[in-house]
Structure 1
């Protein structure tokens, strides 16, 4: 792959440092991560396909229920538009082929598991105006008043034709910090402080429909706890129909994985029990055989004794007649 192409990907994926450096020399208000969310923003009830603009996953408290929603910050790009919260089940994040970038030859990106030069679909850490810009926040005013210090955000499972990798990178040449990798067998969680707004690099290794199940857990200031689990829906690639993402159902979930583990344990127990059952059957058969042999011996011995006694009686009778 040409060095220029690798450099482009490095800059796009690792642009956080450029943003941080710029923040030291420009007005902080120009920092795209600097935002506030109005209290009581509308929760939309329609379905939506979001292919551009600023999007965050974040908690809201709706009718007293702690809920994980999608924040569609439409007003950020269009002052005439209204920013709203959306239900994850009714929202599709569409990545067109404008998100395709080649994997650089730099070994620092080996964790992507894709050969250098091959294309992957990327939601970059710094905004690309032609691609949906996805992050997460804990900035709803009621949420900030209700949660204690912050939340734990976990990737519970991913269904899709390829892998999903989410990572942070500080600076153009900083070492990547992997937050979530759908291929990992270990659970991965990220702590998010209250009043936090974060964007990371999202890499999809193949086109198609992806459902990424996220779980959020929080300790509340009243001493109770709250949690919710929702699936982000992605339609990756020009050839992928967003409606397919809306219609998709998550095949493997955290609870399913637990059930699979329990089933595996039961199967192991059953397998372990089989030799014991076989041994028990063998013992019963052996006892029956021994009992039968013993009975035959007793019958045979009795027959021999009776026959011997009869022979003696005949011999005595013969002597008596002489």
Structure 2
């Protein structure tokens, strides 16, 4: 029996040693991120010195960029990627905006509130890069005309490749397309550089981010090793002035949809530049809420639609190429989906990320559209040309138009207003809860656009609709389904709610209340997701470590049981 005990003790020691070895290896591994809204370069400036983080998910969960790896799915593989301007890349590779991709995942960048914190500009300087091939970063070219392979650069100087010496200006919140010619592991090393109004440059700590491109079974090319891309540059130039040490931030990033307050701001505001999700849809207690998510300052401010006036000044006026004029208009006030003009013009989009997990598919139903001209929305993409975000395939926003987001997504598109003047748009969000079968709708929000005014133009008074509580705490369930409602007329709603909660009721609507949504918004610079964006969005893979943990735990318990039984038998 003693021999049995010694053998079991030795077995336990061996098992524990084998268990702790993979745990030590796991401590050096990176957190894998492969879905959800992600900013790969998320620059914090509250400490007056740039600090680079990775922000992921609808709650903007922050990570150290040196501790994450971005996974690019093998479904992004293709052989026909003939992009104009990518002289160092072949047509076979991995393109994050591929229509064949199983899910949308395109890390972007942002530096919320850097101007409010004393910086005139912000950029990412790339110091070193490694990989089995070049790393291309670019956007759609919305004015590319008939050139279906046209793309637009984001990097300074019109460059398309991330390599030592390249710089990425951060104008605001932006997403782009990534193209990797080969599968394998890539690293990007850089610094955030903020320039103050007196010309002083303040630099962040050096960071190294990692991308892992999964190899497709269709890719018959041999695997290539990761090698340095270009010649590394000096990461520590002589400072022009002393920079304070940046403390590690302990507070979360500026709140996103999941942290939406119970009361929207109703203070009238005019937005003439910066990022704003005009149609921000959130689920609170299973009820839909429509708001304008204003990201033009340090953090997000959630506003009632009626309190927001969008000012688009004359700098947006554009003569369109002949090929686009045939489908759209010859000229108008144009705002790009790429966000390249967001320092001087509004960068407008919509976001349904915060409806998860209560909802998946959401319709934006346009009740009425009025103005002196037409409002045209369109998206551009290599290989497909112009596409419409509307379900009926038309480019013009009109009463009865519907945008369907089949999955929670954050989207930007091209806007074109054909005439100067004041436009009014009434819209609501509608969808069917995943745990129910009754279609619900948000309140109708009214949005105002003033187009063609000079920046100093005196705006007309905008009266905000009172919204004492954007989501009633108690809403009586409708006694019976409401009859089918036309999206061209405002529904009176079916849920009983206190009179003081004006405009907050989630109306129950029949499944036929919205026109058929046969088309889903196509990918743009901030394309709609093709897979559900769950909170956090991080795949915390346990891999072999998790399996070993379960295995060894079971074996430990079994061995302990054998020892106890052996001791009891020996004593009896």
Query: Normalised by the size of structure 1, how large is the TM-score?
Result: 0.59
2:354 aligned with 1:132: no
| Structure-1 separation of matches of 2:303 and 2:450 | 17
Aligned match of 1:44 = 265
**Greater Cα radius of gyration, structure 1 or 2:** 1
Aligned match of 1:162 = 373
| 1:199 to 1:133, Cα distance in 2 relative to 1, 3 A | same
The equivalences for 1:1-322 within 5 A come to 10-11=143-144, 18=152, 22-24=177-179, 37=256, 39-42=258-261, 43-56=264-277, 57-61=279-283, 65-75=287-297, 81-106=298-323, 108-112=324-328, 114-115=329-330, 119-127=331-339, 128-129=341-342, 130-140=344-354, 143-147=355-359, 149-171=360-382, 174-180=384-390, 187-223=400-436, 224-228=438-442, 229-238=444-453, 243-244=459-460, 246=462, 254-255=488-489
- Answer 1 or 2: which has greater helix percent: 1
Deviations for 1:31-84, whole angstroms, at most 9, x for unmatched residues?
A: xxxx99353234323111111111111112457742211111135xxxxx2211
Aligned length: 227
Deviations for 1:137-181, whole angstroms, at most 9, x for unmatched residues?
A: 1122xx21221x22012333211000111111113x742113356
| 1:11 to 1:244, Cα distance in 2 relative to 1, 3 A | farther
Deviations for 1:66-111, whole angstroms, at most 9, x for unmatched residues?
A: 2211111135xxxxx22111110000111011111112112x4312
Contact kept? 1:214, 1:230, Cα under 8 Å? yes
| Structure-1 separation of matches of 2:404 and 2:149 | 22
Aligned-pair Cα RMSD in Å: 3.8
| Structure-2 separation of matches of 1:246 and 1:62 | 28
The SS at the match of 1:39 is helix
Deviations for 1:104-145, whole angstroms, at most 9, x for unmatched residues?
A: 112x43122x34xxx4101211111321000111122xx212
Contact kept? 2:368, 2:398, Cα under 8 Å? no
Unaligned runs of 5+ in 1: 1-7, 30-34, 76-80, 257-322
The SS at the match of 1:111 is coil
| 1:191 to 1:232, Cα distance in 2 relative to 1, 3 A | same
| Structure-2 separation of matches of 1:52 and 1:73 | 10
Contact kept? 2:314, 2:333, Cα under 8 Å? yes
Query: Normalised by the size of structure 2, how large is the TM-score?
Result: 0.35
Unaligned runs of 5+ in 2: 1-140, 155-174, 181-185, 189-208, 211-253, 466-486, 491-572
